Structure 1
Amino acid sequence: MATTLKNRSWRLSAAALLLSFSAQAQAPEAAATPAGMSGQEMLFWVLVSLLGVLVLALVLTGILIVVQLRPQLRKVYEMPTVRPSWSGKVLGLFVGDPVLLQGRVRDEIMSGHDYDGIHEFDNDLPPWWKMGFYGTIAFAAVYLFYFHVADAGQLSQAEYETEMKQAALLVSVGSDDPNKLTDFQPLTAAADIGAGKSLFATNCAPCHGAAAEGKVGPNLTDEYWLHGGEVNHVYKTVKFGVQGKGMVAWKGKLSSKQILQVSSYILTLQGSKPANAKEPQGEKDPTATKIAMR
């Protein structure tokens, strides 16, 4: 019986290998190598494919052997010295007894554990659950040693700081960086303030009002600011907008000089007290000052 099974297994393995080699032999010898793949890479994947076919053949052979030997394995499993052992429980998986995964159900009442007619039985916890629990303990010990004793890995805060540093390298450090405040001085020339006034009337008045008294947007004439009232803060708000608040970004629609002109004009309106001014929003900004035109 064993000799017959061995012969069958070797025949299956040999047949699988012959099929794989014949498939390779039937491929045209002058076939072009796929674009972007070198000869060594092609050879590597061929070897991996052959290994996969060999492993599959061995698995199928093992399954065939287990199916053919199942009656004999059942007799071995039923032996009193084999069944309770760990190897016997593994053997039980091949003969249809999942005790290794489910545990044994003994239904034996524990003495003194009887509450209102409800009995507690002393059954095993499922072995898969216990192995998972022990696995979490082992993982916690490895984690503690790796991250807190050996300091070999980064904790979440360190990972965050590293990622932020890496992201900063990808962002321009110039005036187009929304995280870096510019250092412009407000414009005070009449021509610049006039240009800013015209830009405000065309682009900003629909939301902030013709006199910046506030409509959908906030009042820009009082001393309260949502995003800062110094000229560079106003410049940043106008240029990049405020996501989720309805303030659109004017970058790409207005030039840098135009944005600075309208930002400077807004600061000339401080304390103008227009009619029907909207209630203050935000906080006072001590750096915000009114600009006087020259």
Structure 2
Amino acid sequence: MRLVSTLLRGSGVLLALTTLAARPALAQAAETTAPAGPAAPGSQQLLLWFLLGTLALVILLIGVLTATLLVRLRPQLRRLYELPTVRSTWSGRVLGLAVGDTTLVRGEVRDELLDHDYDGILEFDNDLPPWWKYGFYATILFAIGYLSYYHVAQAGQLQGAEYAAEMQQAALLGAANADDPNQLTTYQALTTAADLSSGQSLFTTNCAPCHGQHGEGKVGPNLTDEYWLHGGEVNHVYKTIKFGVQGKGMVAWKGKLSGKQLLQVSSYVLSLQGSKPAGAKEPQGEKESPTRL
């Protein structure tokens, strides 16, 4: 017991020294941050790491002291473990781990042969290792908790919903600038006569050779019906004109037309909806509700 008390007094001294060493740094941090209001994020992070380091040191010291006590007291613990009233109990089996008996983990090996064999193969009547059984019980509890949380209470997202949410978040994070083809703009279609007139002029000069003078479609698709290959909302049309369609003959007009000119052309294209020009090309793509300007 003298050894135990000595070790405990030593641990108390170490804890006291650690506290005294941390107190000046904490006081200095408090004096530094008090006049200026909230501490800067850098100083807060430094203080957090200091406290975590101190806690880790204390835990390490406690672990070393505990291991030292177990080594010093192992003969007394073994004599206690050998008592019949102690060894058969759960706490006794835990105590057995401290003195080197791993029965609590590996179980009891009886090596009793069963009364049957197959092709000369004999079977021993041994229990499953406790670590295996406890792990199996843990999987059952986990399965019940998982079923209750995700399927009964529906408090968490299933794999499909979680994947969709992560892909949506990735798309938002990936759309870093206006020149990113994955970023969809949020423009409204222009409706003034001046903008639509400018859009018509740009369309006649740049788009009519492929889409026809009135958008009826030639090499390119018909732009006056309700069918669209790449979306008929103004921002989808804007994206198609700006970045083009690789491998389909639709060139990218980014760098050739300004952002306003691209929006003017997109707005003019939508103004052609339902105009039904002569010689219109057959519909292509998916049907969408017509956009009226």
| Kept after mapping to 2: 8 A contact 1:222/1:270 | no
How many Å apart are 1:68 and its aligned residue? 0.4
Structure 1 residues 1-294: aligned runs within 5 Å: 2=1, 4-21=2-19, 23-24=21-22, 33=32, 35-36=39-40, 54-112=58-116, 114-145=117-148, 151=153, 153-156=155-158, 178=184, 192-200=199-207, 211=210, 220-221=220-221, 225-228=228-231, 233-239=236-242, 250=254, 254-261=258-265, 283=285, 285=287
In the TM superposition, what is the alpha-carbon distance from 1:159 to its structure 2 partner? 7.1
Q: Quote the Cα distance in structure 2 between the aligned partners of 1:288 and 1:63.
A: 78
Measured after TM superposition, the shift of residue 134 of structure 1 is: 1.8
Give the corresponding residue for 1:205: none
The aligned residue for residue 207 of structure 1 is none
Q: Is the 8 A contact 2:200 2:268 kept in 1?
A: yes
Q: Does the residue aligned with 1:110 lie in a helix, a strand or coil? A: strand
User: CA 1:248–1:71 in 2, change beyond 3 Å: closer, same or farther?
Assistant: farther
* Distance change >3 Å, CA 157–CA 20, structure 1 → 2: closer
Taking a change above 3 Å as real, the CA distance of residues 244 and 55 of structure 1, as seen in their structure-2 partners, is farther
- Looking at structure 2, the residues matched to 228 and 140 of structure 1 have their Cα atoms a distance apart, in angstroms, of 44
Distance 1:128 1:241, change over 3 A: farther
Q: Following TM superposition, by how much is the alpha carbon of 1:69 offset from its aligned partner in structure 2, in angstroms? A: 1.1
Count of matched residue pairs: 260
Please, which moves more after superposition, 183-192 or 228-237?
183-192
TM-score with structure 2 setting the length: 0.58
Q: From the superposition, tell whether residues 186 and 118 of structure 1 become closer, same or farther in structure 2 (CA, over 3 Å).
A: farther
Q: Secondary structure at the match of 2:87?
A: coil
Identity %: 40
- Distance across 2 between alignment mates of 1:22 and 1:106: 56
Q: List per-residue Cα deviations over 1:66-102 (Å, max 9, x = no partner).
A: 1001122223333444334322221121122222222
The answer to whether the 8 Å contact 2:189/2:267 transfers is no
**How far apart are residue 63 of structure 1 and its match?**
1.5
Structure 1 residue 16: Cα displacement? 0.5
Instruction: Output the CA distance in 1 between the equivalents of 2:49 and 2:13.
Output: 21
Q: Secondary structure at the match of 2:96?
A: helix
AA of the residue aligned to 2:203: G
Specify whether residues 26 and 189 from structure 1 end up closer, same or farther in structure 2 by C-alpha distance, changes over 3 A only. closer
Counterpart CA distance in 2 for 1:17 and 1:90 is: 28
**Compared CA separation, residues 186 and 68, structure 1 to 2 (3 A):** same
Structure 1 distance, partners of 2:56, 2:196, is 78
Distance 2:26 2:236 in 1: 69
Moved more, 66-75 or 78-87: 78-87
User: Structure 1 residues 262 and 141, CA, compared in 2 at 3 Å: closer, same or farther?
Assistant: closer
Equivalent pair of 1:238/1:259 in contact (CA under 8 Å) = no
- The question of whether the paired residues in 1 share the 8 Å contact of 2:228 and 2:287 is answered with yes
Q: CA deviation at 1:45?
A: 8.6
Distance 2:106 2:5 in 1: 36
Provide TM-score, normalisation by structure 1: 0.58
| Native 8 Å contact 1:241 1:248 kept in 2 | yes
